[in-house]
Chains A and B, each alone.
Chain A
Amino acid sequence: EAGVAQSPRYKIIEKRQSVAFWCNPISGHATLYWYQQILGQGPKLLIQFQNNGVVDDSQLPKDRFSAERLKGVDSTLKIQPAKLEDSAVYLCASSLTLNYEQYFGPGTRLTVT
């Protein structure tokens, strides 16, 4: 079965610019997660969807980050405007439903200059 797909794999932008990441979860997976992984740290959950509804976005900096999963399948994560401290790998994961094993995509490495 195909894994979690993410694009782009790499992105370099200047501060104050905007950027968007795309995620396609494993087919049939109801739960989708976006994590931020800063170099040398473990992944930190930004937002979690169950189908097209938000389960948890308590760690999402809502003044600049937004995410959607309109049809309960693909998802996009946007940053506007970007700051230097947003440089990180953004990981998407999916699971069959809540409380099941999470499968991670390869991530998007964002560099903000």
Chain B
Amino acid sequence: GENVEQHPSTLSVQEGDSAVIKCTYSDSASNYFPWYKQELGKGPQLIIDIRSNVGEKKDQRIAVTLNKTAKHFSLHITETQPEDSAVYFCAANSPETSYDKVIFGPGTSLSVIP
């Protein structure tokens, strides 16, 4: 089955700097890669996703890149703000099923220092 790894596990950046979180997946048939943000005491919230037919997707200060050959994808947050502090999870779908069963990575705790 699908396995998703994520690095780094913790990340501290100064406000205004960029943050990059990297993930790798094991199954070359995976074709859907969502990213979730989880704030303390809340459930994960989808912030951006990408499908395998594109290599990059942007939404304001957030972008995701996908390299299918290398089986890795990354989240880029520019001009970080204190409210970006949270745990971020990457995920990949498990293509052995007929529906989007999503496998989550272990998470990255991002701290933005004012």
Chain A residues within 8 Å of B, Cβ to Cβ: 4, 40-45, 48, 55-56, 91, 93, 98-99, 101-102, 104-107
Contacts and interface: CB of A to CB of B under 8 A. Distances in A.
Contacts, number: 44
Given A41-B106, A42-B106, A42-B107, A104 B100 contact: no
B43, B91, B104: which has the most chain A beta carbons within 10 Å?
B43
A5 B59 CA distance: 28
Interface residue tally on B, bucketed by range: 10 to 19
A48 B101 contact: yes
Interface of B: 4, 41-46, 49, 89, 91, 97, 99-102, 104-107
Which label, helix, strand, loop or mixed, suits the secondary structure of the A interface? loop
Contacts of A41: 106-107
Contacts of B100: 98-99
